Amino acid sequence: MIIKKIFVLFFSIIIFVLLDTKEIFEEKISFDSCYLPTKKVALTFDDGPHPYFTESILKILTEYNIKATFFLVGIQAKKYPYLVKLLSESNHCKIGNHTFSHKNLTKLSEKEIFNELYLTYQILNSITGGKNIIPYFRPPGGHYNNNVLKVADKLNFKMVLWSIFTNDHSKKITEKELINTIIYSLSSDKEIILLHSGSKTTLNCLPKIIEILKERNYEFVSVDEILEDETYFVN
Ligand SMILES: [Zn+2]
C-alpha cells in the first residue's frame, strides 16, 4: 500500500514537472515571438511588362506567396495589356507608374513630364479598372528635379526610389554577384530593392533571393505598405 502511494506521488511529481516545463517552454516561445523585430522588404521590378519574364516572375511570387511591386512603362503596357491585367488580378502585386517612354524626366518640360505620367496612369487604369494600382511613380534612372516633383504633386503621385541598387540590368552581372550585392547591402529593417523585369539573371536567382530574405526574417510587402506615411527619398 505504501509502495503504491509512493508510486502515485512520484508519478504526480513527474506529471507536474512535465506540465510546468511545457508552460515555461510555451511562455518562452510567446516571449520570443513578441520581440522579433518587424523587418520589411519591398521587391520592385522596373521596366515591364516584359513579354517573356513578367509571367515567370509572377509565378515565383505566387509559389512563395509573397508580394512585390511592378513599376510599368506605358509603352510596354500598351503592347502587352494582358500582362498588366494578369499582374493587376494577382494578390501578389501592386502596380506603379514608370512613365510612358522611359525618358530622363529632368530633360523634359513640365508639360512633357505631365504627359509621361498622366498617359501611363490612363493606360494602366483603363486596362485594370484601377485594381492594385498605387499612386506611386519611379522616375527612369532615378533622375528627378523640382519640376518632376511639382508635376507629380499636381497628379497626387508620390515618388519612390530605392534603398538597394542591384545593377541587375547590366548584362555582365552574374547570379552570384547579384545575390552578394543584395546580401551585403541589407542594412535596415526597411529595404526597397530595385530589380528589373527584363533581367534573365534576376529571374534565375529570384527564388534564392527570396529564400535569403526569408531566412533573415524579412516580411515581403509592396512599396506603399513599406512607406505608409513616411517620405522615403533615397538619393
Ligand atoms: Zn527603368
Q: How far is the CA of 122 from the centre of ligand 1 (A)?
A: 19
> From ligand 1's centre to the CA of 79, what distance in Å?
17
Per the annotation, the verdict on 46 as an active-site residue is yes
CA atoms within 13 A on the CB side of 176: 0
Q: What is the pLDDT of residue 36?
A: 59
- pLDDT tens for residues 214-233? 999 999 999 999 987 454 44
Local structure of residue 86 (DSSP, 8 states) = H
Distance CA 99, CA 136 (A): 11
Per annotation, catalytic residue among 20, 189, 196, 224: 196
Q: How far is the CA of 17 from the centre of ligand 1 (A)?
A: 62
SS3 109: coil
DSSP letter, residue 157: P
Distance separating alpha carbons of residues 173 and 185, to the nearest angstrom:
16
Distance 151 CA to ligand 1 centre (A): 19
Q: Where are the domains of the chain?
A: 1-36, 39-227
Contact 107, 81 (CB under 8 A): no
The gap from C-alpha 146 to its chain's centroid, in whole angstroms, comes to: 27
153 is catalytic: no
Q: What is the pLDDT of residue 38?
A: 82
Topology of the domain covering 39-227: TIM Barrel (3.20.20)
Cell reading at 114: 505631365
pLDDT for 65-81, tens place per residue? 999 999 999 999 999 99
Could you report the per-residue pLDDT of 1-12, keeping only the tens digit for each?
Answer: 444 554 444 444
- Comparing C-alpha atoms, which of 95, 53, 50 is closest to residue 70? 95
Residues with a beta carbon under 5 angstroms from ion ligand 1: 46-47, 140
User: Does 84 score more than 80 pLDDT?
Assistant: yes
3-state secondary structure at position 212:
helix
CA of 18 to the centre of ligand 1 (A): 60
CB atoms within 10 A of CB 54: 25
Closest CA to 53 of 80, 88, 78: 80
